[in-house]
Structure 1
Amino acid sequence: MKTSLGSVAVRTDASQTDGRRARSETSRAKIVAAMLDLVGKGDIAPSAARVAETAGVGLRSVFRHFDDMDALYREMSQAIEAQVLPMTLKPLTGTTWRERLLEIIERRVLVFETILPFRISANIKRFQSEFLMQDYRRMLRLERTSLEAILPAHVRADIPLVDAINVPLSFQTWRLLRHDQELSIVDARAVVVRLVEAVLAQIPD
Structure 2
Amino acid sequence: MNPSDSQDIPVATTSADDGRRARSRSSRARIVAAMLELVAQGNVAPGAAQVAEVAGVGLRSVFRHFKDMDALYREMAEAIEVQVLPILMRPPEGASWQQRLFDIAARRVRIFETIMPYRISANVRRFESAYLMEGYRRQLRLEAEALAAHLPDEVRADAEGARGLNVILSFNTWRLLRHDQGLAPEQAAGVVRRMLGDALARWPED
> Common fold, TM-score beyond 0.5?
yes
Partner of 2:67: 67
Partner of 2:109: 109
Query: What's the offset of the Cα at 1:18?
Result: 6.0
Structure 2 alignment gaps of length 5 or more: none
CA RMSD of aligned residues (A): 2.5
Deviates more, 1:132-141 or 1:98-107: 132-141
Query: What's the offset of the Cα at 1:155?
Result: 0.5
Asked if 1 retains the 8 angstrom alpha-carbon contact of 2:27 and 2:57, the reply is yes
Partner of 1:48: 48
Asked if 2 retains the 8 angstrom alpha-carbon contact of 1:69 and 1:129, the reply is no
Asked if 1 retains the 8 angstrom alpha-carbon contact of 2:48 and 2:69, the reply is no
Within 1, Cα distance between the matches of 2:130 and 2:25? 23
Q: How does 1:139-154 map to 2 (within 5 A)?
A: 139-154=139-154
Structure 1 alignment gaps of length 5 or more: none
Query: What's the offset of the Cα at 1:190?
Result: 1.4
Count of aligned pairs between the two proteins: 205
Query: What's the offset of the Cα at 1:30?
Result: 1.2
Within 2, Cα distance between the matches of 1:100 and 1:151? 9
Evaluate the alpha carbon distance shift between residue 195 and residue 95 of structure 1 in structure 2; reply closer, same or farther with a 3 A threshold. Answer: same
Identity %: 58
The two structures have a TM-score, normalised by structure 1, of: 0.86
Evaluate the alpha carbon distance shift between residue 34 and residue 141 of structure 1 in structure 2; reply closer, same or farther with a 3 A threshold. Answer: same
Secondary structure, counterpart of 1:188 in structure 2 = helix
Deviates more, 1:127-136 or 1:157-166: 127-136
Query: What's the offset of the Cα at 1:57?
Result: 0.7
Secondary structure, counterpart of 1:141 in structure 2 = helix
Letter in 2 for 1:136: Y
Within 1, Cα distance between the matches of 2:145 and 2:26? 38
Residue deviations 1:95-153, cap 9 Å, x none?
A: 00010011111000000000000000111112222322222122112211111111111
Partner of 1:187: 187
Partner of 1:156: 156
The two structures have a TM-score, normalised by structure 2, of: 0.86
Evaluate the alpha carbon distance shift between residue 18 and residue 71 of structure 1 in structure 2; reply closer, same or farther with a 3 A threshold. Answer: farther
